[in-house]
A and B are shown apart, each in its own frame.
Chain A
Amino acid sequence: MTQTSDRIGEDEDAPGVVKKFMFVNRKAPYGTIYALEGLEVVLISAAFDQDVSLAFLDDGVYQLVKGQQTKGLEVKNFSPTYRALEGYDVEKLYVEREALEARGIREDQLLVPVQVVSAAEMAELMEQQDLIVGF
């Protein structure tokens, strides 16, 4: 897990300040624990009423693909949990267009409604955040 926090210190003492959090997912859902741990952190942070968004880049886009089968891997298929995010008021999911295209994935193959953005637009979104947490 990596963090960049160049602006986070500004109003540390002010109570109830809503910060913009972006969780950046770059890894395939299985094989490492990053995707699942990242999702759990998102669900926990949602309880603190922050402005949370998720970004999916690189192999991270595989996390959102429909029809995941994990029986052969003998791990839990946690992909249905992405559909619970709406109930946690986490509704800003950004997926990088270039990452989808490089892997031949179409938007209609994803589990949840997302905003597909270009790498340049993603960079702009990142620029607007108070805190970026990478998984």
Chain B
Amino acid sequence: MALEVGGITIETDEEGYLANLTDWNEEVAGEIAKAENVAMGPNHWEVVNFLREYYNEYQIAPAVRVLTKAIGKKLGADKGNSKYLYELFPYGPAKQACKIAGLPKPTGCV
């Protein structure tokens, strides 16, 4: 599969995750989000940016339980819960948000 952003073709795997993590930028994220029917607002970006920071630090995409806990720690309990995160990313905060963040599918998603 591939994605067209600003006339450039970006390679993805069959599920839509970026083949090369370095291809990511905010415009690419916007295109992936559009394909996922997610209208990106500030709260979406907050989670996506959090995931990118997590990946930079630990070199993995976190499992959903770990993501929820870590978000709660950093952004407060009103955001560190499944209800809030699933409202933002209905197809799963880890899977869908990771895809938009240009990260691989989370380890532990089988």
Contact = CB atoms under 8 A, between A and B. Distances in A.
Interface of A: 40, 43-44, 46-47, 76-78, 80-81, 83-84, 87-88
Given A43-B63, A47-B63, A47-B65, A84 B108 contact: no
Contacts, number: 36
Residues of A contacting B: mostly: helix
Interface of B: 57-60, 62-63, 65-66, 69-70, 107-108, 110
B34 to A, nearest CB: 30
Contact of A47 (B59, B70, B108): B108
Contact of A84 (B62, B65, B110): B62
A47 B66 CA distance: 9
A76 B59 contact: yes
A53 B63 CA distance: 19
B59 to A, nearest CB: 5
A47 B69 CA distance: 13
Given A80-B57, A87-B69, A44 B110 contact: yes
